[in-house]
Every structure is written in structure tokens, then in C-alpha cells.
Amino acid sequence: MRNALRALELDLRLIGMIGALAVIWIGFDILTGGAFLTPRNLWNLSVQAASIAVMATGMVLVIVTRNIDLSVGSILGFTGMIIGVVQTQFLPDLWGFDHPLTWVVAVLVGIAVGGAIGAFQGVLIAFLGVSSFIVSLGGLLVWRGGAWWVTTGQTVAPMDSLFKRLGGGFEGAIGAGPSWMVGIAAALLAIAVLLASRRRRAHYGFPVRPLWAEGVVIALLTAVILGAVLVVNAYPLPAPIVRRMMEAQGLATDGDLPLIAHGFAIPVLIALAVGALVTFLSSRTRFGRYVFAIGGNPEAAELSGINTRWVMVSVFGLMGALCGLSACIATARLNAATNANGTLDELYVIAAAIIGGTSLAGGVGTIHGAMLGALVMQSLQSGMVLLGVDTPMQNIVVGIVLVAAVYIDTIYRRGVK
């Protein structure tokens, strides 16, 4: 058994997290009498986790370099207000309402503003030597205050009709056919990457996984991806919406209504794409290698000739840009920009990264772990909502789970050493 697991080269910690998630899901499903593991709940769960998951990928890199960013929720709030004002006030003045490019400009502005704020904080941390805890604690107050100043506290709504799709909802889902295409493309890409790596290792004469193990890994990956497609395609649009859509196309609505599936939600696809991108950055580029080297031994990184300061600025810039992207998702989902948007998100984002196995001591962490961590947090919350647990109790449970997760992780690490 142990040998088989070793041949698969699967990360034990990852298996543990998936196991924990399975326990949570099945537990809630039993407690709620089958209301948890439904396509509808899982679909909503994934949409709700998207914004935190996007930011958690960046937080992994921040924590890996032995830093912290407490300002992400406030940066989200501030950039959200900017995004709202840009699409409801500036752009309509320029080219009218519901222009097809409005959402593109809004997203780019959000990413740019977030990135600039993050990079600015990064400069303070890397070049002026102020600790990231303090800079981002200051940022937490400054950008939350800034969010209020953008419109002196007024909520900006509604959002552009195309922009709104970034937040999910029935308009923000891609439907059954495209979901299959995305799923099959992702599975093929994953298989291609696995096989290419295997071929390269064989070419150099390095040890490779036995063929059966390679087959099992590929089968597991494909099953997870296509299973997700089956779930999102099993969640049909509500009947009134289907009726309205058919009426809009001039079709008769007196007979049986067809079942139209949601398919993947756009914010979930954004989060998965961000996860893939940041995973690529962290494992396949010099930037990622330097991030981990700095976390493992800052002095060694410096002595190796790495420009550690610019790496730090880039890490915080990336974190800010991801906050800007999350601001798009959160603002679109709410269909409004409010100065309270993203309040306490910093804690959920940090918790997601930590539950996902990122070590506060630095040097250790994975992107997929943090995204799973975001899913664990959201599963707990949404399960408790289904059970009718009130908000204060939810906070208590999430807090306890965070501490317990880190404790278990500490024991695990001690065992590894």
C-alpha cells in the first residue's frame, strides 16, 4: 500500500485535505438530510468560494516569502468602488450605457489599480524595510477609508450587464455544451503536460513512475474534471427564467419546459484559470523559484545574486492585481460596489492559504492547497447556513477550525522531520 502510494507520487498532504473535504461534505449532507451534496448547492458553493480562492493563490506567495498581507479585503473594497464608478459614471459618459467594451475596461482598470496599490506597498516593504505586517495593517485602514472617499460612502449600482456575468448567476454560466468543451480541453491539457514531463524524464534517463501509476493518475484527474462537468450540468436553470428566455425567442411555453443546464459559472472558471496561472508562475518560472528560495533562506537568495527586493515588489504587486480581479467578481456578484465590500476577506484569504498547507515560517505552500482551503472554508460556512446556524456561531466554528488545522499541520510536519 505504502509502495503503491509512493509510486503514484501523490502528495500525502493533498490526500489528507481531500479526505477532510470529503468528511465535511458527507457530514453536512447527512446532517441536512441530503441538501448539501446537490448540484445546486455545490454550484453555489463554488461561486461563493471563487473570490477568496483567487486572492488565496497570491497570498500563498506572500506567506511563502515570510510576509503577510492584511490589506487584501480593503484593496478589494477600494478597487471595487473604482471599478463601479468607471463603469457607471466615466464610461457611460464616454460611449453610453451597455457598450460591449465597458466590462473589459472595468476589469483592466481593477487589475491595474489593485496591482499598483500592491506594488506600492511592496516598495515600502522591500526598499524602506517596513515590516509587511505594519504596511498592510496600515493599508487595511487606508484603503477601506479610501473606498468610502471614492463616492463619499454612496453605493454604486447597478453594474454593466455584461460585467455582471463575472459574478455568476444564471447569466454568468456558460451552459452545458461549452462546459463539456472546457472540461475535455482541461483534461487533455493535463494529460499532455503529464506525458510531456514523463517523456523528458525518460529522455534524460531519470526514474519515472511505473506505467500503471501514470495511468491511475491520469484516470483520477480526468474523473475529477469530468465529474465537475457532470455536476454543473446537472443544475438546471429555474423554470421562470427558462420560460422568459423562450418567450424572448418567440417560442411557445405552454408545454413541458426543457431542462437547460447552468454549466460552469464564469467566476469559477476565472478562479481555476488564475490557479493554473499562478501554479505555472510558481513552479515553472524563475520568479517562482526565487519566491520559494527567498522563503527558504533570504540570505542565501541574496548571496546567489537574486534581486530579492524586486521579487518582493512583484509578489505584492501580483497580490494587489489579484485583489483587483476578485473585486470584479465580488462587485459583479453583488451587482453593486459598496465601501464595505470585502470586509474581513483578509482573514478568510489567509485562513484559506494556511488551511491549504502554507507555512507561516515561509518557504512552503502550494496554490492548489490554498484553493482547496478556500473551498473547505466556504463548505463549512455554506453547510452551517443550510443547518440554520447563525453568523456568530459560524465565526466561532471557522475560528476553531483554523486553529485546529494549523495544529494538525504542525504535528504532521514534526512527523515528516
**Contact status: 369 vs other proteins (CB under 8 A):** no
**Contact status: 284 vs other proteins (CB under 8 A):** yes
**Contact status: 295 vs other proteins (CB under 8 A):** yes
Range in contact with other proteins (rule: CB under 8 A) among 109-117, 282-290, 377-385, 398-406: 282-290
Q: Closer to other proteins at the Cβ: 155 or 279?
A: 279
Pick one of 94, 157, 286, 391: the residue that binds other proteins (CB under 8 A): 286
- Listing DSSP states for 98-141 in one string gives T-TTHHHHHHHHHHHHHHHHHHHHHHHHHTS---HHHHHHHHHH
How many CB atoms sit inside 10 A of residue 265's CB?
28
Q: Are 140 and 74 in contact (CB under 8 A)?
A: yes
Q: Closer to other proteins at the Cβ: 198 or 243?
A: 198
**Contact status: 198 vs other proteins (CB under 8 A):** no
- Distance (Å) of CA 171 to CA 33, 241, 245, 267: 30, 10, 11, 12
**Contact status: 301 vs other proteins (CB under 8 A):** yes
**Contact status: 357 vs other proteins (CB under 8 A):** no
Q: Closer to other proteins at the Cβ: 29 or 302?
A: 302
Q: Are 350 and 365 in contact (CB under 8 A)?
A: no
Pick one of 1, 2, 129, 203: the residue that binds other proteins (CB under 8 A): 203
Long-range contacts formed by 133-137: CB under 8 A, 24+ apart: 133/68, 133/70, 135/71, 136/68, 136/69, 136/70, 136/71, 137/70, 137/71
**Contact status: 139 vs other proteins (CB under 8 A):** no
Half-sphere exposure at residue 247, Cβ-oriented, CA atoms within 13 angstroms: 8
Pick one of 19, 200, 238, 410: the residue that binds other proteins (CB under 8 A): 200
Cell numbers representing residue 113 in the block: 489599480
Shortest distance in whole angstroms from residue 8 CB to other proteins: 14
Range in contact with other proteins (rule: CB under 8 A) among 97-105, 202-210, 332-340, 374-382: 202-210
- Distance (Å) of CA 346 to CA 53, 57, 59, 175: 12, 13, 9, 32
**Contact status: 304 vs other proteins (CB under 8 A):** yes
Q: Closer to other proteins at the Cβ: 118 or 295?
A: 295
**Contact status: 201 vs other proteins (CB under 8 A):** yes
**Contact status: 6 vs other proteins (CB under 8 A):** no
- Listing DSSP states for 253-266 in one string gives -SSPPPP-B--SBH
Pick one of 89, 131, 253, 297: the residue that binds other proteins (CB under 8 A): 297
Q: Closer to other proteins at the Cβ: 281 or 350?
A: 281
Q: Exposed, middle or buried by CB within 10 Å (0-12, 13-18, 19+), for 291?
A: buried
Q: Closer to other proteins at the Cβ: 306 or 355?
A: 306
> In sequence order, what are the residues at sequence separation of 6 or more whose Cβ sits closer than 8 angstroms to the Cβ of residue 57?
274, 275, 278, 279, 322, 367, 370, 371
Shortest distance in whole angstroms from residue 156 CB to other proteins: 41
Q: Closer to other proteins at the Cβ: 243 or 413?
A: 413
- Distance (Å) of CA 141 to CA 74, 289, 351: 7, 32, 20
Shortest distance in whole angstroms from residue 213 CB to other proteins: 15
**Contact status: 363 vs other proteins (CB under 8 A):** yes
Pick one of 285, 391, 393, 407: the residue that binds other proteins (CB under 8 A): 285
**Contact status: 299 vs other proteins (CB under 8 A):** yes
- Distance (Å) of CA 378 to CA 32, 194, 373, 389, 394: 16, 30, 9, 14, 11
The residue ranges that bind other proteins (CB under 8 A) are 200-201, 203-204, 206, 283-286, 288-289, 292-293, 295-297, 299-306, 363-364
